[in-house]
Amino acid sequence: MIKKKVCMLGSFAVGKTSLVRQFVQGIFSDKYLTTVGVKIDKKTIELAGEEVQMMLWDIAGEDGFQRIQTTYLRGMAGYILVVDGTRRSTLEEAKNIFLRIDEMDIGSVPHVVFLNKIDLTDEWELKGEDIASLNEIEARAFKTSAKTNEGLEEGFLNLAEMMVKQG
């Protein structure tokens, strides 16, 4: 079995913890408990007949005061930038995180973007051009909902594929 470390990154309250919880345990809660430090979960998926175990590092989100601790990113094989589709600013913040990782001199690390909370259609703020602008950070985007489980399987699987290819 292949094991890979994956980091969940993004601004605070975009739904990193909820996504992991839904993906691993199939549970969703409306309650918001901010993550302190890091929480680690795992999920084994099957990819072309082979098992891949993803160690999901759910890292405390960024806010105005605290940046992501880069030591937690050490050795990651891939990462997911989570954007809250109902808060447009979180998209820029996700791009910034990408740029900072890009500067870290760890080579190109496979990554995808989750545009989360797609179930909240009325409050959705992202437009086509916003999503197109993700080309800048060389990332495929997936519309996801930690609440309805929409897009999660596809997104995580996609990242896993990229990571396995990278070796």
Ligand X SMILES: Nc1nc2c(ncn2[C@@H]2O[C@H](COP(=O)(O)OP(=O)(O)OP(=O)(O)O)[C@@H](O)[C@H]2O)c(=O)[nH]1
Q: Which does 18 bind (CB under 5 to 8 A by kind): another protein, Mg ion, ligand X, none?
A: ligand X
74 near another protein (CB under 8 A): yes
| Extended beta strands in the chain, E state | 2-10, 38-47, 50-59, 78-84, 111-116, 140-143
By CB under 8 A, residue 135 contacts another protein: no
81: β partners? 9, 113
| Cα separation, 45 vs 26, whole angstroms | 14
Helix residue ranges per DSSP H, 59-151: 89-102, 128-132
By the rule CB under 6 A, 116 interacts with ligand X: yes
Please pick, from the candidates 35, 38, 102, 158, the single residue that binds another protein as defined by CB under 8 A.
38
Q: Which stretch binds another protein (CB under 8 A): 13-21, 38-46, 82-90, 110-118?
A: 38-46
Number of residues that bind ligand X (CB under 6 A): 21
Q: Which does 67 bind (CB under 5 to 8 A by kind): Mg ion, another protein, ligand X, none?
A: none
Closest CA to 35 of 73, 61, 55: 61
Q: Which residues pair with 89 in a beta bridge?
A: none
Q: Rule CB under 6 A: is residue 145 a binding residue for ligand X?
A: yes
Q: Is residue 15 involved in binding ligand X (CB under 6 A)?
A: yes
